Amino acid sequence: MQEHYTQEIEDLKTNLFKMAALVDEQIERAMKSLQENDLEIIKGIKAKDHEIDAYDNLIKTQCENILAIFQPVASDLRYIMSVIMVNANLERCGDIAINISRRVKRTSEHHNLLIESNLIEMSKIARQMVKDSIDSFINLDLDLANKSLSEDESVDEINRAAFRFFIAKMQENPSLIEPCSHLIVLSRLIERLADHATHISENLIFYVEAKLIAHRKKLEKRENE
């Protein structure tokens, strides 16, 4: 029974790592296209999404089967719970990569606004956060997870500043309303990508240290109000 369980866990890890590699590749292509204003990079990005969705369904099924058949407890149970959450966040990251590529296409003629608004820098931070969070979960590296978590506030600050920047641009020049509207959405997508990286890192901490730190900042803020 134990040998069967060990093999099921190894198969689950393999599929999660394969999915993570696909998602990481999608994000890399979307961010590189955004940063370099190169639309060739994102050709065919949508096609890969079907493969990610297939892994999403497979991993969900594997987790359900392991829970039903082996009824794991303690750290084994935390691992399955973490995989379920990480899988969901990876799938959403894949969707965000596609949505970013769509906004890049619609704003390619206004790349100067991306630079002025600091969205390029924001995209680099968010991209690194995702990479670090994935690597931290694969390698059980708490230091890397905490490094990714520490960058979230920087992304949030740039997002808020970018929003104010785009509103001011639209007020100054009504012809920029449409592109700036797309760029506001783009900024929000990058911010959401960083959020998903944060969730992945939080789930590693939950698995390794049995600590729930999700929503910690919001809860602490509410307690201090």
* Dihedral pair phi/psi, residue 105, rounded to 5°: -60, -40
- In the structure, what pLDDT confidence band is assigned to residue 182 with cuts at 50, 70 and 90? very high
Q: Which two tokens stand for residue 128?
A: 């690194």
Residue type, 191: E
**C-alpha distance from residue 77 to each of 36, 64, 70, 208 (Å):** 43, 12, 10, 11
pLDDT for residue 216: 61
Q: CA 12 to CA 87: how far, in whole Å?
A: 11
With beta carbons less than 8 A apart as the criterion, state whether 82 and 204 touch.
Answer: yes
Domains of the chain, first to last: 2-224 (1.20.58.220)
Q: Does the pTM of the predicted model rise above 0.85?
A: yes
In this predicted structure, what is the pLDDT of residue 218?
55
pLDDT at 41: 94
Q: What gap in Å lies between CA 146 and CA 93, rounded to an integer? A: 19
| pLDDT for position 34 | 96
State pLDDT tens for residues 4-18: 999 999 999 999 999
- pLDDT, one tens digit per residue, over 25-76 is 999 999 999 999 999 999 989 889 999 999 999 999 999 999 999 999 999 9
Buried b (16+ CB within 10 A) or exposed e, 37-66: beeebbeebeebbeebeebbebbeebbeeb
Chain segment 191-212, per-residue pLDDT in tens: 999 999 999 999 999 999 999 8
CA 85 to chain centre: 12
- 213 falls in which pLDDT band (50, 70, 90)? confident
